[in-house]
Structure 1
């Protein structure tokens, strides 16, 4: 009787040991977040990245119960801010939100880029896709894209366009437009889109490709004239405006996108938590509505999906920049 009881106890104990050992061996997920998170925006305030970043930071702070502080680190077309994040501790407390330029264009324009968008970052999420809009100063006698092309050809070298800076996405958009239409526009680079847009409204520059989210209010006020959007289809925010391709440049398409990342080697559990919360935020009706008001479509998805998309975009822009002969030094 005693022997049978002892044997039963031994069997029960043996059965319990693996579970206990497994419980002890299982790595404990780090508590996160336990302090404020810094969201680096590698551009000055007022642009698409800044606006979207602040929307997401507000919602993330509510979900995490910790402040998410937006830190604008503009300069060198986003390179400075990207480098700051690439060199930051890989602990999940420094995040970057950036557009296509720093992620996929700059590696083909700058031979000594101080970061590698694939090796130095762990992807979190593809945030949104945003087409641009082609706008001109209202004093120009052009009502359509074809009018603008004809006007530039009548005055070769006399008309200019502004951008947020050399190597920025909308610099590339404008150069692609000039390349495909065989026209010559003089590039006037600025330190950020807000300054360029201000000078366009003042008539100091003639043409600009810019993000819809920051340009729509000025289109509606009549301070700039919109000729076309740059995406592959008409936009709900400006339904009466044709695409550049529709308006006379077949095959033209140029949409920017935003995405978020953290330093490489950030713990997987933290990346998954950030991805989960951001996917939830991007599905919120008010966020989708606010993004859509500026012409942006929220994306979301898994970190691996953005990694694959980034690699495809790197290949695409490498080919485009080479074929169009675009250079970072002074435009094409």
Structure 2
């Protein structure tokens, strides 16, 4: 059984209560802010970066520039941003893969717990297992039967992403079958390969694939939420598909280099919290399968520690390794 998502429902209210008096740091921002996205266009980090970036630009009065730096399951961007000036002008949009890589990446060029501060957990989404429409197996139970042949494979946004670990846990630990993992540099490329039949399946955060499933381009096999999602009501949960209690999510956060001043981090947190409370922004998130999260920097830091410990245990249980 996968660990349940951390209880985040009260974060938005707590965030506003804790930072209602935060003020803009003197002179900040006075030039464009860069969002370094840890994955290729089309994935959850990229979707949130573009939705949030537009609104944050309006809020802070400066352009927010999006720069995708995909590679190594998000670790390439982490290594770059860890060395960036801690002035609030270079921020990273990364997913829960950041927490995974804290123990999975043995040769990382950064320390996940020392080199970054998590300014805000922006949003979360369940993961989704999708299949090439031509695949003979029509649902997760049939996939498990076919997987006994040892010939199936699946793509992900990269080794060390939570959809990767989710699938490994589902196939190896619960299903006791071997399905070959094919890592890509983002959910977009993984889904493109699935559309083209280069891989049979993909395990991705739901927002990256929801429109493809709605349009019939891909077949939704199972979603990892505790209940079916409104955007894909015909896709069953993993729990419904024979694995009771299974639940997992991918979250997206805004990270800054650890030496960034508390004033700047609190300011960014407040501005993001204001955006997350907006009804129209919440509607945009819901449309693509995200839920707003929010929370204070302290709550975000505590949550990150929980996530790092959780995924370390799952990595040990699944035996996942990367080169």
TM-score above 0.5: yes
Match of 2:113 among 110, 115, 118: 118
Contact 2:214 2:232 in 1 (8 A): no
Match of 1:55 among 43, 51, 56: 51
State whether structure 2 residue 318 is matched by structure 1 residue 324: yes
Match of 1:172 among 165, 173, 183: 165
Deviation beyond 3 Å, 4+ runs, structure 1: none
Structure 2 partner of 1:221? 215
Structure 1 partner of 2:84? 88
Per the TM alignment, residue 29 of structure 1 is displaced from its structure 2 partner at its CA by 4.5
Match of 2:263 among 261, 265, 269: 269
Q: How far apart are the structure 1 equivalents of 2:205 and 2:118?
A: 23
Q: How far apart are the structure 2 equivalents of 1:29 and 1:228?
A: 46
Kindly report which structure 2 residues correspond to 1:1-332, keeping only aligned pairs within 5 A, or say none. 29-102=25-98, 104-153=99-148, 156-179=149-172, 180-329=174-323
Q: How far apart are the structure 2 equivalents of 1:324 and 1:313?
A: 16
Per the TM alignment, residue 159 of structure 1 is displaced from its structure 2 partner at its CA by 1.2
Instruction: Give a deviation string over 1:52-90, Cα, whole Å, max 9, x none.
Output: 101111111111111111111112221111112111111
Q: How far apart are the structure 2 equivalents of 1:165 and 1:264?
A: 25
What count of residue pairs does the alignment treat as equivalent?
A: 299
Q: How far apart are the structure 2 equivalents of 1:210 and 1:122?
A: 25
Q: How far apart are the structure 1 equivalents of 2:180 and 2:257?
A: 38
The higher radius of gyration belongs to: 1
Bigger mean CA offset, 293-302 vs 166-175: 166-175
Q: Return the structure number with greater relative CO, CA threshold 8 A, min gap 6.
A: 2
Q: TM-score, normalised by structure 1?
A: 0.86
Instruction: Give a deviation string over 1:198-256, Cα, whole Å, max 9, x none.
Output: 12112221111112212111112211111110122221211232210121112322211
Q: 3-state DSSP class of the match of 2:294?
A: coil
Structure 1 partner of 2:7? none
Instruction: Give a deviation string over 1:81-113, Cα, whole Å, max 9, x none.
Output: 1112111111111111110002x1012111121
Stretches of structure 2 lacking an aligned partner (at least 5 in a row): 1-23
Q: How far apart are the structure 2 equivalents of 1:191 and 1:74?
A: 6
Stretches of structure 1 lacking an aligned partner (at least 5 in a row): 1-27
Contact 2:25 2:267 in 1 (8 A): no
Q: How far apart are the structure 2 equivalents of 1:233 and 1:209?
A: 18
Structure number with higher helix proportion: 1
Per the TM alignment, residue 321 of structure 1 is displaced from its structure 2 partner at its CA by 0.7
Q: TM-score, normalised by structure 2?
A: 0.89
